Structure 1
Amino acid sequence: MSRQPAIHRAFDSRRRAEIIWRAARRALRDWQATDGAIWIHLLKTVAAGLLALGISMLLDLPQPRIAMTTVFVLMQPLSGMVFAKSFYRIVGTAVGMVAAVVLGGVFVQQPELYILGMTGWVAACTAAAMRNRHFRWYGFVLAGYTAALIGIPLVMQPNGLFLAALGRGAEVAVGILCSGMVSAVVVPRQSGSLLERTLRSRYLNFTAFAAAVLAGRLERGAFEGRFASLVDDVVGFEATRAFSFFEDPTMRSRSGLLSRLNSEFMDACARLHALRQLLKRLHWSDAAITPLAPYFGELAALLAQRPSRNESDRAYARRLADGLEAFQRTLPRHVRETRRPLEHALPDALPDFDTSAELIYRFTTEIVRYSRTWASLMEARPAQEPRAARYVPRTSWHVVAFTFVRTAVVVAALGWFWVETDWSSGGLAMIAAALTCALTSSAPNASRMAVQMAVGAGFAAVTGYLFTCYVYPNVDGFPLLCATLVPVLAVGAFLATRSRIAGYGVGFSVFFCLLAGPDNVIVYTPDLLINNGIAVVAAMLVASLAFAVVFPPHMNWLVERMCVSLRGQVVLACHRELDGLGQRFQSGTHDLMHQLRLLLNGRRQAHRRALRWMLVTLEVGHAVVDLRNEAHAAAWLDLHDARWPAALARVRDAIAHLFESPDGSSLDHALSAVRAATWIVQEALATVHHERERRHEVQRLLSHLHFIRSALLDRDAPLGPLARRARRTRAPRRSSNTQ
C-alpha cells in the first residue's frame, strides 16, 4: 500500500516536468519568432562584421573597413536572402570593377569626361535595377556605385586604379564569405520554412475570403482592400521563392511546382473577382441569381471548413479538394434542372443565369487545382513539373527613364560642383550621391529615405569623430577593439531592422564603417573625417531635395503613364500569342499594380482609382483570354459561320482600342462589336442544339461575351462614367434627328 502513492507521486512529478518542458519549448519558439529573431539577427550581423574585419586585417588588405561595410549591407534575417544577395553582389562588384578600370583607361586624367562617363554608367545601372526584381536589382545597383567607389578617388591617379580594384574585390569577397558563413551556421533561419508558413496562411485566408464573398458578407470597400493585399501576396511570394532557390535544394527542386502554385493562385483570385463583380452587378436579388443561391451557399460552406485539430495540411487540402470536386460533378445536372423553369418563365434572364453558372464552375475548377497543387507540394517526392509557369514581371519604361534622368541629374550636379570648387571631399560627395540614388531607387518614398540616411550618416560622423579621437588611441589589441565596436554596430543593425526608420540604421551602419571604420594602420585625421562627413550628409540632402522638389515620384504624369501601362495589359491579352498568355497577363498586371500601390502610398483617392483600373483590367483581360482560348478550341465555328472570325477580330481590336484610349465613342464601338459577335454565336447555338459538345462550347463563348459586355457597362468601374456620358451625348442627337 505504501508503494502506490509513491508511484503516483513519481508519475505526477514526471507529468508536471513534461508540461513545464513543453511550455518552455513553446515559449522559446514564440520568442524566436518575435523578439528573439531580432536579437539573433543583431548577434549574427555584429559577429559577421567583426569576423570580416579581423580576417581582412589578418590578410593585410588595404581597407578592412570595406569588408565590414559589406557585411552590414548584405545581412538579412533569412539565410536564403543572404545567399541571393551575396551572389548578385559578387556579380555586381565584378562588373563595377571592370567598368571603373575601363572608364579610367578611356578618360586618363580627364576629370570632366570621366565624371560624365561615370554619371552615365551609374544612372544606367540604377535605371536597369528598376527594370528587374528582388536581388537582381541589387546586382545592377552594385555595378553602378562600386565603379564610383573605386574609380572616383583615383580619377587623377590612373596608375593605382587596377590595384585598387583588386583590393576592393578582395575586401568585398571576405565580407560576402563571412556573412554567408555566419548566416548559414549560427542559428540559421531558412527561407523554406517561411515559405511553408506563407503558403499555409495564404491558403487558409483565401478560402475564408472566398467563402465570405460567395456568402455576400463582404462590402465593396473591404473587398477592394483584401484584393489589394492579395496583389502584394503574389509579388511577395515570388520574391520568397527566389530566395529559397539559393538556399534549399528541396525548394530548388520544387521551384517549378511553386511557380505553378503562384500561377494557380492568381487564376483563382481572378475567377473569384469575376464572380463577385457579376454578383454585384446583378444585386443578388435578380431573377437570374436567386435560383443559383443554394449553390453559392453550398460552395461557401465547403470553403469555410477549417482543418481539424489533428489534421495535417495535406490531408485538409485533399479533403477540401475532394468535397469541391464532388460538388462540381453534380453542379451541371443541378444547373440544368434549375434552368428549365426559366426557359419559359424568364427567357431574358438566361444570359445572366448561364454566365453565373459558368463562373461558379470555373472558379471551382481553379480552387480545386490550387488545392491539389498545394497538397502535392507537401509530399516527400512530388511529381516533377514538366514546364514551369514563369512569373513575368513588368515595369513601365517611363519609370525606367524617370529613374535614369533623376540619377543622372543628381550625380552630375555634385560632380560639376566638385570640379568647379576643387573641394577635397567632393569625390566622396559624388560617391554618396550615387549610393543614395541607387539604394533609394526602389523605396516607396525616396526623399524620406534619403533624409533618414543623411541623419544616420550625420550621427555616424559624430560617433566616428569620438572613436577616432578618444577610443582608438586607447585600444590595445583586436579583442578590445571588438568590445568597443559591438554597441555601436548593434545600434545601427537594430535600427535597420525597423521598416519605418530603416534609413537611419542603413546610413549609420554603412557610413560609420566607411568614414571611421578601423584599418590596419589607423590614421588620426579628425579634420578630414569631419569634412568627409559634411560631404556625405550634404550629398544626401541634395539628393533628397531633388527627389522631393524636382523629381517627385508621385507626379501625375508618371502615375498616369503607369496606369496606361496597366491598361495596356488588356491590349496584350487581345493581340499576343495564346501560348502562355494567361500567365504573362496575370503576372504583369499584378506586378504593375504592386508598383502603383508603392508609388501611391498615402494618396487614398489616387490609389483607389488605380486599384479600380486594375480590377477592370484583370476582369476584362482575363475574359478576353478565356474567349480566345474557347474560340481556338471551337475552331469548327470558323467554317460553320464565315462571319465569326471577322467578328471575333473586331471584338479584340475594339476592346484593345478602348483600353488604349478610353472614351465614350471607343466604349460604344466595343459594345457594338461584342453585341454583333453575340448575335452570331446565338445563331450558331440554334443550329448545334442537338450536338452536346458543340453546344457546350458555344454556350461558353456566349458566357464570355456576355460577361465582357456586363464588365464594360459596370456603373461602378472606371468605364461607367464614359458610358453615362456617351448616353447623354447620344440623347440630344437622337432628339434633333427626330425634329
Structure 2
Amino acid sequence: MNIAPPINTLSNKAIAVMLQAGTLFLRTPAMKADADAILFSVKSFAAAMLAYYISLRIGLPKPFWAIVTVYIVSQTSAGASFSRGVYRFAGTLAGAIATVAIVPNFVNDPIVCSVVLAGWIGLCLFFSLLDRTPRAYAFVLAGYTASLIGFPSVLDPGAVFETASLRVQEISIGIFCAVLIHRYILPKRMTGQFTGRLSATLRDARRLADNALIGTPEVNRRDRHQLAADLLAIQGLATHLPYDPAPTPPRRLLQLIHDRLARLLWLAAEIEDRIAALHLADGGAPGELTALVSEVSVWAASAQTEEREAIATLLITHARSVQKRFRADGVMPGDRLAANLAGHLAEMIGLLEDCDRLGRSIAASGRLRDANSLHGPKRAKGYVYHRDLLMAGRAALGAITGILIGCAFWIWTAWPEGGMAVSILGVCCTLFGNFDAPVPFVVKYIVGSIYGVIISLVYSFIILPSVTEFWVLVAVLAPAFLFAGSLQARLPTTFMALGITLTIPILSPLGPYYTGDFATSLNSVIALFAAVGFGAVSMSLFQTVPVDGAINRLLRLSRRDVGRRALGKAPNEARWTSLMIDRTALLLPRLRLTGKAYPDVLDETLRHLRIGHVTGQLRRTIPHKSEIGVELRDILSVIARRFRGSKQSTTTDLPDLDLWVETLIEKTAGSELKNRLQIVDLLIDLRFALGLQTYRSITTDDH
C-alpha cells in the first residue's frame, strides 16, 4: 500500500514554510532598516523634485537651493522633519535679516565686515550649543544663512536684499515640500518610536531594581549605565513629540515619568550598598527584612498583571511597618540601617508603580486620571540639560578665528571665488560645531563631496545637455539621489550622503536653463574643497575638544556643584538629579572614544549625585539654635571645601568625617529634636554616599 502523502499537500506545506520564512526575514531589523531607508529616500526625492518644479514655475533664479533644503530638512520621522523645517525657516529668516543689516553698512571696510559677519556666526553657534533641543537648529541656520548670503554679497552689496529675499523664498519652498511629503505621505510617526523606547526603558528600570536586590556589583553598574543612556534617548525622542502628527501625551506626564526614572537610578545604588552592608546574602540580617527584600524582588521581576498595583500597595505598607519597627528598636547601628533600607525599599516600590501607571497613560496618549494617587512627588521638573558656557564660548571663538583667517586669505589674494569659499567655511563651522571632535565628520562629508563632484561632472557635461523635458530630468536624477538618500537615512553614512546630496544640485547646472561651463565648475570645485579642507584644519585646531578633556571637565563641574549643594546654593532636588543624569549620559559616548581607562568614572558621577542630593536635604533640615545644627553646618562646610577644590576627593581624604558623622548620628538619635529620625536617615545616607564603608562591617547582630 502506498502511504506517501499527496504531492499537492507537500507542495502546499513547502510554500507555506517558504512564505513564513520570507515573512520572518522581512521582519528582521536589518531588512526593516533597509525598507525604512528606501522609503525615506523615495519621499525625500519626491519632495526635492516637487520643490524644484515649483521654484522653476515661479521663476526663481537658483531653484537648486530648494533641492538642497529638502535634503537638509528631511528626517526619518514626520515629527523631526516638521520641527527641523520650522526652525530652519526661523533661522533662515533671522540670518537673512542679519545679513541685510550687516553687509551694506560695513561693506566699505572689508575687514570690519568680515569681523561682524564672523561674530554673528560665532554668536549663533554659541547659542546653538547652549540649547540642546530642536530649537538649536534655528541658531545654526541663522549663522549658516548669514555665511551663505553675506560673504558672496560683499562683491555686490547693492543686491544683498534681493539675494536674501530670493534665498528665503527658495529655502521656504524646500521646507514646505519636505514637511508636506514626510508628514502626510506614509508618515513615520515619532510617537510609536517613543512609546517603544519607553517600554524598553521601563523594562530596564525593573531589571535595575531587581538586580539591586539580588545582583552583583558589575551587573548593577551595567544596568545603571543603561538606564542613564535610556533617559537621554527617550528625551531626544520626546523633544520632537509636539511636532508629530499623531496624538501625543501631555508634557507633564513625560516630566513625571522622567523624574521617577532618574530618582530610581541613584536610589537603586543606595539600596545595593545597604544590602551589602547588612550581609543579606549571607543571612546576616533579620528574617523579617530578608523576607521583605525577597518579596520586593519577586514583585519587581514579575510581569504586568491586574493585581500588580494592589500588591505594590501591600508591599509599601509592609516596608513602612518594618521601617517603623526597626526605628522603634533603633538603639544599635544595625537597627537604624535596617530601618533606612526599609524606607528606601518603600520608595522604590512607589517609583516603579508610578512608572507603570504613567507608562500606560502615555501609551494610551491620554491623561492621568488621578495624579494625587501617585506615590512620588506630584510636581515634576522633567529633563534638565547640562550647559557649559565656557565650552560653548570656546567653540564659538574657534569658529570666528577660523572664518577670519579664511577672510584674511581672501582679501589678501583677491581670489575671485574667495567669497564662495569663505561662505562654505562658515557653513562647515556651524553645521559641525556641535561635536567635540568635528574633523571625522568633516572627512566623511569630504568623501561624499568627492563622489558628488564626480557625479555632478557626469551630469553637467554628458547627461544634462541632452535633457529637454522635466520628467526626463527627474528620471536621470533619480538613481543618484535615491542612492544617496538611502545612505542619508543610515546614521554611519549620513554625513557622506549629505556631501553627495548637497553637492550635486549646486555643481550641476540645475537652474532655469542649462548653463554648463567647465571653467566655472572647476573653480567651484576648487573653492569647495579648499573651504572644506581648511575647515577641517581650522576645526581641528580651534574647535576640537580632546575627549579626555571633555570627561575631566564634566567631572570637575560635578564636584564643584556638589560643593555648592553642600552650601545650599545649587538647584532643587529634581533639577539636581536630572542634571547629573544628563552629565552621566554625556559621559557614556565619550568613554567609548577615549584611549585611557576610566573604570569608575560613571560611578563617580553617580556618587556626586548622591552626595549632592543628601547634602542639599541636610541643608534644608538643619535645626536652628541647637548644637546638632551647628555640627551639621560644620560638616557640610567641610564637604563643600573638599569638593570645590581642583582635585578629586576620595574616601581616603575623608577619614575624620567618618567618626564625626557616626558620633553625630548617635547624638541625634538620642536627642529630643522633632525631626531627629529624618536627620539620622540623612546622615546614614551621607555616610554611604561619601563611601565611608564602616557600615559594611555592621549587621543587626549588634543587638
- Cα offsets for 1:136-195 (capped at 9, x unmatched): 221111010100101111102111000111101111110111011101111111111111
- After superposition, residues 240-639 of structure 1 pair within 5 angstroms as 240-248=237-245, 250-251=247-248, 254-280=250-276, 284=280, 289=285, 291=287, 292-307=289-304, 316=305, 319-334=307-322, 347-379=332-364, 381-383=366-368, 388-443=380-435, 445-516=437-508, 518-548=510-540, 551-554=543-546, 556-576=548-568, 581-603=572-594, 605=596, 607-628=598-619, 631=621, 637-638=623-624
CA distance in 1, matches of 2:285, 2:123: 55
In structure 1, the partner of 2:170 is 171
> Residue type of the partner of 2:626?
A
In structure 2, the partner of 1:313 is none
Q: With structure 1 as the length reference, what TM-score do the two structures score?
A: 0.83
CA distance in 2, matches of 1:208, 1:105: 62
- After superposition, residues 650-669 of structure 1 pair within 5 angstroms as 650-661=634-645
In structure 2, the partner of 1:3 is none
CA distance in 2, matches of 1:598, 1:664: 22
> Residue type of the partner of 1:231?
A
> Residue type of the partner of 2:428?
T
Deviation at 1:414, TM superposition (A): 1.5
> Residue type of the partner of 1:611?
L
C-alpha distance 456-17 of structure 1, shift in aligned 2 (>3 A): closer
Report the 3-state secondary structure (helix = DSSP H, G, I; strand = E; otherwise coil) of the residue aligned with 1:443.
coil
Deviation at 1:33, TM superposition (A): 4.4
In structure 2, the partner of 1:59 is 58
C-alpha distance 198-416 of structure 1, shift in aligned 2 (>3 A): same
Deviation at 1:92, TM superposition (A): 0.6
CA distance in 1, matches of 2:409, 2:86: 36
In structure 2, the partner of 1:130 is 129
Deviation at 1:682, TM superposition (A): 3.7
Report the 3-state secondary structure (helix = DSSP H, G, I; strand = E; otherwise coil) of the residue aligned with 1:359.
helix
Contact 2:319 2:343 in 1 (8 A): no
Give ranges in structure 1 of 5+ residues lacking alignment: 1-15, 308-315, 717-739
- Cα offsets for 1:75-111 (capped at 9, x unmatched): 1111000111111111111110111111112202322
Report the 3-state secondary structure (helix = DSSP H, G, I; strand = E; otherwise coil) of the residue aligned with 2:309.
helix
Deviation at 1:559, TM superposition (A): 3.8
Report the 3-state secondary structure (helix = DSSP H, G, I; strand = E; otherwise coil) of the residue aligned with 1:135.
coil
CA distance in 1, matches of 2:20, 2:217: 43
Deviation at 1:650, TM superposition (A): 2.8
Number of residue pairs the alignment of both structures matches: 674
- Cα offsets for 1:542-578 (capped at 9, x unmatched): 2223444565321654543332112233245334579
Q: Which moved more, 1:517-526 or 1:351-360?
A: 351-360
Report the 3-state secondary structure (helix = DSSP H, G, I; strand = E; otherwise coil) of the residue aligned with 1:250.
coil
CA distance in 1, matches of 2:83, 2:461: 39
Deviation at 1:319, TM superposition (A): 3.9
Is 1:701 the counterpart of 2:685 in the alignment?
no
Report the 3-state secondary structure (helix = DSSP H, G, I; strand = E; otherwise coil) of the residue aligned with 1:601.
helix
Find runs of 4+ consecutive structure 1 residues off by over 6 angstroms: 16-32, 338-342, 664-671
C-alpha distance 437-114 of structure 1, shift in aligned 2 (>3 A): same
Deviation at 1:699, TM superposition (A): 2.3
Contact 2:399 2:543 in 1 (8 A): no
- Cα offsets for 1:432-482 (capped at 9, x unmatched): 222222222233541100111111112212211111111110111110111
Contact 2:429 2:539 in 1 (8 A): no
Contact 1:469 1:524 in 2 (8 A): yes
Deviation at 1:21, TM superposition (A): 11
Report the 3-state secondary structure (helix = DSSP H, G, I; strand = E; otherwise coil) of the residue aligned with 2:433.
coil
CA distance in 1, matches of 2:564, 2:243: 32
> Residue type of the partner of 2:316?
Q
Is 1:36 the counterpart of 2:14 in the alignment?
no
> Residue type of the partner of 1:460?
G
Report the 3-state secondary structure (helix = DSSP H, G, I; strand = E; otherwise coil) of the residue aligned with 1:134.
coil
C-alpha distance 324-250 of structure 1, shift in aligned 2 (>3 A): same
Deviation at 1:667, TM superposition (A): 7.2
Is 1:223 the counterpart of 2:224 in the alignment?
no
> Residue type of the partner of 1:259?
Q
Contact 2:565 2:612 in 1 (8 A): yes
Report the 3-state secondary structure (helix = DSSP H, G, I; strand = E; otherwise coil) of the residue aligned with 1:193.
helix
> Residue type of the partner of 1:686?
G
Please identify which structure carries the higher helix content: 1
CA distance in 2, matches of 1:352, 1:338: 9
In structure 1, the partner of 2:689 is 711
Deviation at 1:70, TM superposition (A): 0.5
In structure 2, the partner of 1:84 is 83
C-alpha distance 671-391 of structure 1, shift in aligned 2 (>3 A): farther
Sequence identity (%) = 20
> Residue type of the partner of 2:611?
V
Contact 2:358 2:368 in 1 (8 A): no
Is 1:643 the counterpart of 2:627 in the alignment?
yes
CA distance in 1, matches of 2:81, 2:109: 39
CA distance in 2, matches of 1:598, 1:127: 22
> Residue type of the partner of 1:597?
L
CA distance in 2, matches of 1:212, 1:400: 39
C-alpha distance 670-441 of structure 1, shift in aligned 2 (>3 A): same
> Residue type of the partner of 2:170?
E
Deviation at 1:379, TM superposition (A): 4.9
Report the 3-state secondary structure (helix = DSSP H, G, I; strand = E; otherwise coil) of the residue aligned with 2:384.
coil
- Cα offsets for 1:113-155 (capped at 9, x unmatched): 2111111111221122111113222111101010010111110
Deviation at 1:686, TM superposition (A): 2.8
CA distance in 2, matches of 1:25, 1:330: 50
Q: Which moved more, 1:680-689 or 1:412-421?
A: 680-689
Q: Which moved more, 1:666-675 or 1:51-60?
A: 666-675
Deviation at 1:679, TM superposition (A): 4.3
> Residue type of the partner of 2:347?
R
Is 1:239 the counterpart of 2:230 in the alignment?
no
In structure 1, the partner of 2:73 is 74
> Residue type of the partner of 1:365?
G
Contact 1:45 1:71 in 2 (8 A): yes
> Residue type of the partner of 2:358?
T
> Residue type of the partner of 1:659?
F
Deviation at 1:593, TM superposition (A): 2.8
Report the 3-state secondary structure (helix = DSSP H, G, I; strand = E; otherwise coil) of the residue aligned with 1:382.
coil
CA distance in 1, matches of 2:442, 2:383: 31
- After superposition, residues 108-123 of structure 1 pair within 5 angstroms as 108-123=107-122
CA distance in 1, matches of 2:357, 2:595: 38
In structure 2, the partner of 1:101 is 100
- Cα offsets for 1:514-559 (capped at 9, x unmatched): 2225111232122222222222222222222344456532165454
CA distance in 2, matches of 1:657, 1:606: 28
Report the 3-state secondary structure (helix = DSSP H, G, I; strand = E; otherwise coil) of the residue aligned with 2:514.
coil
CA distance in 1, matches of 2:648, 2:197: 44
Report the 3-state secondary structure (helix = DSSP H, G, I; strand = E; otherwise coil) of the residue aligned with 1:181.
helix
Contact 1:425 1:535 in 2 (8 A): yes
